[in-house]
């Protein structure tokens, strides 16, 4: 059976995907070493800040955060006690990446 990380990596614009604990520690990754650790840690910190920001607005629970740049994007999804962090090199596949993350968020899978 295909894993979430394998499905994400099959998307052409995805350059990295990690599953991390909420403190940023890596559980599983498509990349190695310091790059994976940085993506997980910074993704967890950014998601935590976004959760607090949305909480201040008295909005519903945050499930997905999108950080878009001129050259790509990072999407972070809430998997309960874990986070999925996906970096893409362009913006053409944002919807497909979001769909994979959303399915995983709803299912609470890795």
- At 44 the pLDDT is 97
CATH of 4-107, one of 3.30.450.30, 1.10.275.10, 3.90.1150.10, 1.10.3720.10: 3.30.450.30
**Predicted local distance difference test score (pLDDT) of residue 110:** 44
pLDDT value at position 107?
81
In this structure, the dihedral spanned by the alpha carbons of residues 63, 28, 2 and 91, taken in order and rounded to 10 degrees, is 50
H/E stretch holding 42: helix 33-56
Low-confidence ranges of the chain (pLDDT < 70): 1-2, 108-110
The domain segmentation of the chain, as residue ranges, is: 4-107
Residue 88: how many other CB atoms lie within 10 Å: 24
Give the position of tokens 């499930």. 63
* pTM, two decimal places: 0.91
**Would you state the pLDDT for residue 60?**
83
């Amino acid at each position: 059976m295909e894993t979430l990380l394998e499905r994400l990596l099959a998307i052409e614009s995805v350059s990295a995907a990690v599953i991390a604990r909420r403190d940023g520690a890596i559980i599983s990754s498509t990349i190695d070493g310091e790059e994976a650790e940085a993506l997980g840690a910074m993704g967890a910190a950014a998601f935590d800040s976004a959760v607090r920001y949305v909480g201040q607005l008295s909005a519903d629970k945050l499930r997905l955060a999108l950080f878009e740049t001129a050259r790509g994007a990072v999407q972070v999804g809430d998997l309960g006690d874990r986070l999925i962090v996906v970096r893409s090199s362009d913006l053409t596949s944002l919807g497909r990446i979001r769909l994979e993350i959303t399915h995983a968020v709803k299912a609470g899978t890795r």
